[in-house]
Amino acid sequence: MSPARPPLSRYLARLGYGTRREAERLVATGQVTSARGAVLRESDGFSHDDVRVHGVELDPPAGSVVMLHKPVGYVCSTSDRPPLVYELLPPRFLRREPVMATVGRLDAETSGLLLVTDDGPLNHQLTSPKWHLPKCYEVTLATPLRGDEAELFATGTLLLSGETAPVRPAQLDVLAPHRARLTISEGRYHQVRRMFAAVGNHVTALHRAAFGPLQLHDLAPGSWRVLTTAEVAHLREALRAAKDAR
Which residue type, as a one-letter code, is found at position 220?
A: A
Torsion of CA 158, 160, 164, 170, to 10 degrees: -40
Tally of CB atoms within 10 A around 100: 25
C-alpha 88/C-alpha 157 separation (Å) is 39
Q: What does residue 231 show for φ and ψ, rounded to 5 degrees?
A: -65, -40
Q: What does residue 112 show for φ and ψ, rounded to 5 degrees?
A: 120, -155
Residue from 83, 78, 121 nearest 239 by CA: 121
Decide if 244 is catalytic. Answer: no
Active-site residue, from 49, 50, 107, 218: 107
Active site residues: 107
